[in-house]
Amino acid sequence: MPSGTDSQDRPTQELTEGAAQERAWFDANRRMWDERVPIHVEGSFYDVQGFVAGETTLRPFELEDVGDVTGRSLVHLQCHFGLDTLSWARRGALVTGLDFSAPAVLTARGLAARTGLPATFAHADVYDAPVVLAQRYDIVYTGLGALCWLPDLERWADTIDALTKPGGMVYVAEFHPLTDALADDELRFERDYFSGEAHRWEEPGTYADLDAETTANLSFEWIHPVSHVLDALARRGLHMERFREHDYTLFPRWSFLEKSARDAWRLPNDMPRVPLMYSVRFRKPS
């Protein structure tokens, strides 16, 4: 052991180093998302004009799984600039959105004002949501493309549990993590599905505009196996009511996907299907 180092100090040092590493990950990801907000708002992928005109961004399976939300409180974690959040408001929910990107939250508030939809938007990291929001909700909703940005699934599950009212619903709709373990040019495993390690990316553009000029291109992502997500929620005492896997996704994850609807991309008929998204509904005991 190096001179002057006490073994009793190591846990504290490791915690401090771990917190610093996590902060560096979050800061890089936040810079990346901050830069992409205006690109997403102005581009055709999200079709903000269509939403303002009255369209919804929610997928049919989400509407079926969640059901009637009229008059029910709903919090949307990692809400980006709020289109899904405001879509739930359009269906009668009393909505709150939370995101760690300040430009995203400001944009969401502007869209709420522009559409006349009542909504509250908070700027905070998802792990801080129970303290920042200081209330529980009838529905805790996590939409597509959220979990891969979180290093600690256990803390996320604690957050979900803390925000859910007794008798309340937890609903997660996500891109299937299997797709993150596959190569970018074919259905071939390239990354470890179970590693739990941070994957470092440094790529320009965005899924919403591959040719967009960007400078904040460093980001970090994690693969969270579906079993880990389900287990983390179940160990908080939540009861699973429905689980589904879906054979389409919302963007051309591979160049050979075929567009079957405005926001639906599927594998060609001559290729074997793999799950591209999943959705799960839990209930907290009363």
The pLDDT tens digits of the residues spanning 100-115 come to 999 999 999 999 999 9
Cα separation, 66 vs 95, in Å, equals: 14
Task: Say if residue 46's pLDDT is above 80.
Answer: yes
Residue 19's pLDDT band, with cuts at 50, 70 and 90, is confident
Indicate if the pLDDT at residue 65 is higher than 80: yes
Residue 1: the pLDDT is 36
Measure CA of the first residue to CA of the last residue in the chain; give whole Å. Answer: 52
| pLDDT > 70: percent of the chain | 95
User: ∠44-48-54 over CA atoms, to 5°?
Assistant: 130
pLDDT of residue 88 exceeding 50: yes
Pick from 72-86, 101-115, 135-149, 203-217: least confident: 203-217
Q: Could you give the 3-state DSSP secondary structure of residue 126?
A: helix
- Report the mean per-residue pLDDT for the chain: 94
Q: What is the pLDDT of residue 4?
A: 45
**Range 70-88 average pLDDT:** 98
Query: H helices of 43-128, where?
Result: 48-52, 60-66, 83-90, 102-115
pLDDT at 28 over 70: yes
3-state class of 9 per DSSP?
Answer: helix
Q: How many CB atoms lie within 10 A of CB 241?
A: 13
In whole angstroms, what is the distance from residue 98 CA to residue 100 CA? 7
Distance CA 142, CA 144 (A): 7
Q: Class for domain 16-283, per CATH?
A: alpha beta
Pairing between β-strand 277-283 and β-strand 264-266 as defined by DSSP bridges: unpaired
| pLDDT above 60 for 8 | no
Residue 3 above 50 pLDDT?
A: no
Class of residue 58 by CB neighbours under 10 A (exposed 0-12, middle 13-18, buried 19+): middle
Question: Is the predicted pLDDT of residue 163 greater than 90, yes or no?
Answer: yes
Buried b (16+ CB within 10 A) or exposed e, 170-194: bbbbbbbbbbbbbeeeeeeeeeeee
Pairwise pLDDT comparison (207 vs 174), residue with the higher score = 174
For residues 106 and 247, give the distance between their C-alpha atoms in angstroms, rounded to a whole number.
Answer: 34
- Going by C-alpha positions, the residue among 201, 183, 184 that lies closest to residue 192 is 183
SS3 127: helix
**pLDDT-derived band at 10, boundaries 50, 70, 90:** low
